[in-house]
Chain A
Amino acid sequence: MIRWKRSWPDLPEDLPLDVLPASNGEFVPPAPTPEQKAVMELQNEGIEYWRRKFNMSRRDFVRTAAAMAIGFWALETVTVKGARAHNTDTTAASDLEWDDEDFMSDFWLGNKPGEFIFDVQSHHVESDGMWRVTNPGFEAFFAAIWSQAGPLGGRPEVREDGSIRGFGAGEIDPIENLSRFHYMKELFLDSATTMTVLSAVPAAPDITQPLPMDRAVLTAETVNNLAGSPRTVLHAFVMPNRGSAGSTASLLGQEPVFMQREFEIMEQRAAQWKGLIRGWKTYPAWGDIPYASGWFFDDELVGQRFIDHVRDVAVRYGVPPNIATHKGFALPAFDQRAASPRDIGPAASRNPDVNFIVYHSGYDGGGMGAYPGDAHVSSADRSVDSFVKSLRENSWSATSARATVEGFGTVPGVRWANVRNVYAEIGSTWRSNMSAPRNAHLLGKLINHVGPKRIAWGTDSLWFGSPQSEIAALRVTRHEQAPEVWDSYGLPHAIDGDADNPLIDTRDGSNYPDGKPHPERSIRNWIFGRAAAEVYRVDADKHLYDRQHLKTALDTSPTAGVAEIKPDEVQKLRDAYIVNQYTPKEQVPFASNQIIGPRTPRELFKMRSEGPWAP
């Protein structure tokens, strides 16, 4: 058991669920709403009440599963007016019932039955890489943008006792907070994540890349060697517009200078790291000329030739024909017009044998309501609705027979089909929309228009630290939080519905021939990992670590098959690291519990004025 020692850096005592406005550096944080203040106040009261009952210090208690449960209880009490986590007669924090395993399991790090969490959007940087010399703008960008590496968590200092405290998450070198070490800690120890895709950021050639390809391979091999099974796979960044004279140049037939070189690099990487590379990451809004070098997938000269090459490499090297593409958030210097998901519909419909995994699902901040109708949406904007519109207008949505795979909904107008080759990834989008009723609108419209088996779990971690609160938020998402909204999407069981037929409740065993509940069939568990597992060619069932699965396997077959599901070294590390596992006092001893980004306009502008800021 790991205990905090006095000589170690101070751990913050922040609440586990922080709902107050925070900026990632790209926008002015709004003033906190009365609702947000109420959530924090209620959460604080509950935590103070229960930490005394548990006879724990605040520092220890805020890192427990019970504290996380109190956070979500407070959120629901304020926003939904009908919180769970208590008996049916009262709503007071003092009535929280800690001996309910079904309730507590939402907040433990152990996986729930059928739960395979596959985070397909994770990042870290090589903290001592050449890029810090060759691409200094990126370092300033990280320092300014990502809370983990920002200076707002406190400047380095030497305390009176001689101990040293660093930036952000505690490192003297702030970029170190985004390093391989923190990646492995935050993803595999501080959260219930089972498997990751280590993705890339936009920079080429590789010498300017914050995570050069061979360094990404080192991370994957470190994780996989430790685990004894593939826990981390990779994207390779491709920039087909490298050397472009601007977006409009391609319209004049001018090929980007280094496009062929990029294609050659794809082949080299495919040959060298065939088993690890499972997709190609693109940022169509990123180019050599800031604000002007974007490209589109339906552009014949750049986009279609890149797609053709992905197909060719898939045939020749066996790399899955997966295009992971950033659509939505328009970061500084991005040619934001090419961050629009407008081109997904036409490109996907013309290339049905290539998969398009749409990162952020087109979201660029702002509200989240019902799809307002085709007449009120432009696919050329950046929003989830624009993404939906792009699919719809190209007859390539989940309600179009032309676009869909077999199963429910192969007839036009019938719901619950799945678009053949388009996946909606929800990294950062989920984080911005995980309280009711926004969560219901986000997931409801994606389930309806892209498909219940076409939502891919991503979190953008490590940028925002551990994804555990996002995982807990999906676990607690249910129909009662916003019944009218879920019903409006035809989802009477919300994401507890069966992914093949959402009208069936997977929690009710009477719906199945074997008379048992089937959580592994739920839309929630398809979102968590099973959807992405298909496209990234991973066998989800061989990566299950939930207690029930282990118990069942051991009961039914004491020897056969156990090796496949035996907890690997990564799991053993996590189990050893967690204190009081599977109890209300389950504690993640070094959880950072902090959002360090600017919380007010004054903090934002102070941050901007104190350092260079350029991508």
Chain B
Amino acid sequence: MGTVIKRIALIGIIATLAAPGLASAEPAWYHPGAPYRVGPAGGDSEATMVEADPATGELRAVQYQVAGVSGSLGCVGEGPYVMFDVTHDAGETAIDQVTVTYDPAIVSPYTFMKLSVLHGDTSVDPEAPYEFVDTIDVRGPILGAGELTLELPEAVSGVLTARFGLEVTSNCPGLDGGQVTFTGVGFGS
């Protein structure tokens, strides 16, 4: 076998071995800007505040109910929450984990940093049909930089949406919340 043929064969073998591995090993990363959309957000109209800026990846959710007694005597009913949505078309590639990175985060003990993966596309219609694949949340306190990874119960392909942000438990009296800059989201295996 000639040298050229050997080289071609070697390259072919390497390509064959490496191609699937590369496809599954290299996560597709998205960063603040166009891929980020403001997802679900809400909370009581009084005593809560939510903001989200897709251009910077920064969001905050704060509850500042200082009056009232637990139960119904003036207590806040709905805690604030705010999320980013990022959609990724994985095609035939099997995705079995999704990661979000943040830097920085300041999250109080009764606030949850949450990451859900939806099987479906919410980029055009936020209410479009989808299935939740799974969710992970981490309770505060969270300070500084880090990442949150959701390992999916089974690998999925097709169009996926990562939904991530903050959710604050409703409480009174209470001052809870957080501010996070989500620097990226990666879909991979």
A333 to B69 alpha-carbon distance, docked (Å):
9
Inter-chain CA distance A104–B127, complex, in Å, is 46
Q: How far is the CB of A142 from chain B (nearest CB, A)?
A: 16
Minimum Cβ distance to chain B for residue A478 (Å): 31
Interface of chain A residues 284 through 303 with chain B (CB within 8 A): 291, 296, 299
**Whole-angstrom CA separation of A382 from B126 in the bound complex:** 24
Residues from 335 to 383 in A contacting B, C-beta threshold 8 Å? 336-337, 340, 342, 345-346, 364-366, 373-376, 378-382
The reply to whether the CB of B72 lies closer than 8 angstroms to some CB of chain A is yes
List which B116-135 residues lie within 8 A (CB) of chain A: 116, 126-127, 131-135
**C-alpha gap A275/B92 in the complex (Å):** 54
Contact of A291 among B70, B132, B141 (CB under 8 A): B70
Structural contact, A376 and B40, CB atoms closer than 8 A: yes
- A610 CA to B134 CA, complexed, in Å: 51
Query: What separation, in Å, do the CA atoms of A337 and B111 have in the docked complex?
Result: 10
Interface string of B145-189 (1 = CB under 8 A from A): 000000001000000000000011111101000000000000000
Chain B contact residue count (CB 8 A cutoff): 37
Q: In the assembled complex, which residues on chain A have CB atoms less than 8 Å from the CB atom of B2? A: none
Give the docked Cα–Cα distance between A330 and B43 (Å): 18
Smallest CB gap from B108: residue in A: A248
> With A and B bound together, what is the CA distance between A375 and B132 in angstroms?
12
A561 at the interface (CB under 8 A from B): no
Q: How far is the CB of A333 from chain B (nearest CB, A)?
A: 7
B39 at the interface (CB under 8 A from A): yes
Query: A429 in the interface, Cβ–Cβ < 8 Å?
Result: no
Q: Is the CB of B135 within 8 A of A393?
A: yes
* Cross-chain contact of B168 among A291, A365, A380, A395 (Cβ < 8 A): A380
- Asked if A402 is at the interface of the complex by the 8 Å CB criterion, the answer is yes
Interface: B79 (CB within 8 A) = yes
Interchain CB contact (< 8 A) of B132 among A296, A376, A395: A395
- Which residue in chain B gives the minimum CB-CB distance to A24? B71
A342 to B70, CA, bound (A): 18
A47–B74 alpha-carbon span in the complex (Å):
39
Which partner residue on chain A sits nearest B78 by CB separation? A381
Closest chain A CB from B162 CB (angstroms) = 13
Chain A, residues 265-297, CB within 8 Å of chain B (1/0): the string is: 000000000000000000000000001000010
Q: B84 to nearest A CB, angstroms?
A: 13
**Within residues 370 to 408 of chain A, which ones have a CB less than 8 A from any CB in chain B?**
373-376, 378-382, 392-395, 399-400, 402
Cβ–Cβ < 8 Å partners of A247 in chain B: 109-110
* Whole-angstrom CA separation of A365 from B77 in the bound complex: 10
Contact A333/B70 with A251-B141, A375-B127 known, Cβ cut-off 8 Å: yes
A380 touches B81 (CB 8 A): yes
Docked-complex contact B72 and A378, CB < 8 angstroms: no
Q: Which residues of B contact A340 (CB under 8 A)?
A: 169-170
B127 partner residues in chain A, CB cutoff 8 A: 373, 375
CB-CB under 8 A for A329 and B77, given A380-B170, A413-B131: no
User: Would you list which residues of chain A between 240 and 263 have a CB under 8 Å from chain B?
Assistant: 247-248, 251
Closest to A391 in B: B132
Chain A residue numbers with a CB within 8 Å of B174 are: 337
A512 interface hit (Cβ, 8 Å): no
Structural contact, B72 and A365, CB atoms closer than 8 A? yes
Task: Please indicate the chain B residues that have their CB under 8 angstroms from the CB of A26 in the complex.
Answer: 71-73
* Cβ-closest chain A residue relative to B167: A380
Q: If A380-B170, A402-B153 touch, does A346 touch B135 (CB 8 Å cutoff)?
A: yes
The interface residues of chain A lying within 8 Å CB-to-CB of B172 are 336
Q: A330's closest neighbor in chain B, by CB?
A: B70
B43's nearest neighbour on chain A, judged by CB, is A378
A345 touches B42 (CB 8 A): no
B167 partner residues in chain A, CB cutoff 8 A: 342, 378-380
24 residue pairs A–B, Cβ–Cβ below 8 Å? A27-B71, A291-B70, A330-B70, A331-B70, A333-B70, A336-B169, A336-B171, A337-B169, A342-B112, A345-B135, A346-B135, A364-B71, A365-B72, A373-B127, A374-B40, A378-B43, A378-B81, A381-B78, A394-B134, A395-B135, A395-B153, A400-B132, A412-B131, A413-B131
Interface residues of A (CB under 8 A from B): 26-28, 247-248, 251, 291, 296, 299, 329-334, 336-337, 340, 342, 345-346, 364-366, 373-376, 378-382, 392-395, 399-400, 402, 412-413
Given A332-B69, A366-B77, A400-B131, 12 other A-B residues pairs in contact with their CB atoms under 8 A? A26-B73, A291-B70, A299-B139, A332-B70, A334-B70, A345-B135, A346-B137, A365-B72, A375-B126, A379-B167, A381-B77, A402-B153
